[in-house]
A = this chain, B = another copy of it.
Amino acid sequence: MTKSPETSKKTSYHHGDLRAQLVEATRQLVEEKGADHFSVSEACRRAGVSTAAPYKHFKDKEEMLNQVILEGMHRKQQQMQDELAKYPDGGIDRIIALGRVYVRFAEQEPGVFRLMFGLTEDHENEDQLVAEGKRTFGAVQAEVARYRGSEVVEDQDIDRAFMLWSFVHGLSFLQIDGKVSTVDVSVDMEHILREIAERVMA
């Protein structure tokens, strides 16, 4: 099936890897109009192909969106890794770094972020997506345990990890949905992330 890396332009027949182009168009549209106002037809227009073309690469609309989710998760995981690498083992700065990546991702890709969480039904039955989600949350748990000086995740770590998750998750949504501004709060993101981390890890 997939025989060549996507970096080369002449790897395919008519287009240069239409599948990737469609995913990219989908991602852009999700950002611009939201996942619920995304339409296959429009992605086709943007990719410069007929409305029938996607169905040789994807089962249906949902599969296109799922691909966008998956790639988004991978980007986020990569960012987490990159950010973690800047800080020494076991420090609270690493906890903060994870939160920063979370919120920053939401700010930079609010459409994909919203798509990843919630609204668009299923997801629970998409094994691959669930697996990636678990993997990410597992990484947070491990980091929390390591802050405690342990390599083994215990119940208290899971609790703390979940609190951190709730926090940054809410923070992200309030931020991208503009609720912060309607209520006249000026958010110093670095400050609040540190506050949160310290209070949860205490």
Overall SS of chain A's interface: helix
Whether A112 sits at the interface, judged by CB under 8 Å, is no
Residues of B within 8 A of A1 (CB): none
In the complex with contacts A114-B119, A199-B202, A163-B192 CB distance below 8 A: yes
Residues of B within 8 A of A34 (CB): 36, 119
- The residue that A171 contacts in the complex, of B118, B158, B170, B196, with Cβ under 8 A, is B170
Q: Give the copy number.
A: 2
Whether A178 sits at the interface, judged by CB under 8 Å, is yes
Residues of B within 8 A of A177 (CB): 117-119
Whether A165 sits at the interface, judged by CB under 8 Å, is yes
Q: Is the CB of A178 within 8 A of B36?
A: no
Stretch at the interface among A6-14, A64-72, A83-91, A181-189: A181-189
Which A residues between 133 and 187 are near B, CB-CB below 8 angstroms? 133-134, 137, 158-159, 162-163, 165-174, 176-179, 181-185, 187
Q: Is the CB of B181 within 8 A of A133?
A: no
Kindly report which residue of chain B lies nearest to residue A114, judged by CB atoms. Answer: B119
Chain A interface, number of residues (Cβ within 8 angstroms)? 43
Whether A56 sits at the interface, judged by CB under 8 Å, is no
Q: Is the CB of B182 within 8 A of A118?
A: no
Whether A53 sits at the interface, judged by CB under 8 Å, is no
In the complex with contacts A118-B114, A133-B183, A196-B163 CB distance below 8 A: yes
Whether A200 sits at the interface, judged by CB under 8 Å, is yes
The 6 closest A-B pairs by CB, nearest first: A170-B170, A169-B170, A118-B177, A36-B36, A166-B170, A199-B199
Given contacts A163-B192, A166-B168, A166-B170, 19 further A-B contacts (CB under 8 A): A34-B119, A36-B36, A114-B118, A114-B119, A118-B173, A123-B178, A124-B178, A124-B182, A133-B179, A134-B182, A134-B183, A137-B183, A159-B195, A166-B174, A169-B174, A170-B172, A170-B173, A173-B173, A199-B200
